Amino acid sequence: MKKKRIIKIIVSTFISAAMVIMPGCTSSETAKTDFSIITTIFPQYDFARKIAGDTADVTLLLTPGSESHSYEPTPKDIARIQKADLFIYNGGESEVWVDEILKSSSNKDMKILKLMDCVDLLEEDSEEDHHEHETEYDEHIFTSLRNSEKLIENIQNAMSEVKPDNSELYKSNADKYKSELDSLDKKFTEMINGSKRRTVVFGDRFPFKYFAEDYGLECYAAFSGCSSETEASSATMSKLIDTVKNDSIPVVFHIEFSSETICRKISDATGAQIALLHSCHNISKDDLENGVSYLDLMTQNYNELEKALN
């Protein structure tokens, strides 16, 4: 794909630059521990910091408030990755740049964890003919609480391999977080099974395929997955508006950092309210500074979805 070729060229250039600056890349950063964990997006960052406690320096590469799908690593980011003890990334189309960095890494002791290898994957919704194109899988695995429990367990195991002396602490912290996610998953199941409706409309992109699969929700969206499109076709708009009217849908959702343009058009045409359902890709700078967690975001989603379905 053209996009992959472009990313490969950009990353190769950055890798060369990173090798030049690498010796001094941490000159302005003081490590608190001797265990460096680098993560690409927010969910894995949150899981790792909760499991590690104060035993590791956990870094989130994605700048708070930025769009995860358009992220490109800087030379400094590449240098950080190549010096990490543990590198955790999601995988998928948004992170094809990772392969080039890992190929060039001279750090053979670095533990690498690709989270899309840790769960059962769903095929990405696409209008392309899969007979002519390689099958691609939806990368938004973390929108499922059940998947996230598996991700936490795999992160815990990877951390314990690097720092076996802390394995009991990591297991204890991981078990606690998994228990909290399991309790919320049960709340979602009970609420949705008893709700008035099971249809959800997104005037936006749709990164919730795994979430919808968990609870048997019927979802309609302006775009599939995390499409780069910004304008919905007139046919799509008509279908969404008709669905909201015919099924008396009271709320139309958008995702984080959205312009909400399509949502507002549907709202204007139907009278439906607008609400946020957070996909947890990334959070704002304020939320990061305030310690907002993946569990916090999914709890907010529970509250918004409960109102929308009832």
Range of the domain at 17: 2-185
Query: What is the C-alpha separation between 277 and 289, in angstroms, rounded?
Result: 21
**Which pLDDT belongs to residue 162?**
98
Among candidates 63, 310, 301, which has minimal Cα distance to 202?
301
Same-domain status, 62 and 141: yes
Same-domain status, 8 and 128: yes
Q: 181, 149 in Cβ contact below 8 A?
A: yes
Which residues are CB-neighbours of 292 under 8 A, at least 6 positions away? 283
Domain boundary among 185, 201, 216: 185
Give mean pLDDT, residues 232-240.
95
Q: What is the pLDDT of residues 256-278, one digit of tens each?
A: 999 999 999 999 999 999 999 99
Domain boundary among 156, 185, 214: 185
Q: What is the pTM of this model?
A: 0.88
Distances in whole angstroms, Cα of residue 218 to Cα of each of 38, 197, 198, 199, 248: 36, 9, 6, 5, 14
Domain boundary among 185, 210, 226: 185
- Is the pLDDT at 6 greater than 70? The verdict is no
Confidence band, pLDDT 50/70/90 cuts, at residue 70: confident
Instruction: Give the dihedral of Cα atoms 165, 168, 173, 176; nearest 10 deg.
Output: 170
**Greater pLDDT, 242 or 68:** 242
Q: 158, 28 in Cβ contact below 8 A?
A: no
Distances in whole angstroms, Cα of residue 171 to Cα of each of 58, 70, 83, 181: 17, 34, 25, 15
Same-domain status, 260 and 208: yes
| Domain at 173, CATH number | 3.40.50.1980
Q: What is the pLDDT of residues 155-214, one digit of tens each?
A: 999 999 999 999 999 999 999 999 999 999 999 999 999 999 999 999 999 999 999 999
Q: How many domains does the chain have?
A: 2
Q: What is the pLDDT of residues 28-64, one digit of tens each?
A: 345 688 999 999 999 999 999 999 999 999 999 999 9
% of residues, the chain, pLDDT over 90? 77
Same-domain status, 153 and 139: yes
- The gap between the terminal CA atoms of the chain, to the nearest Å, is 43
Same-domain status, 42 and 155: yes
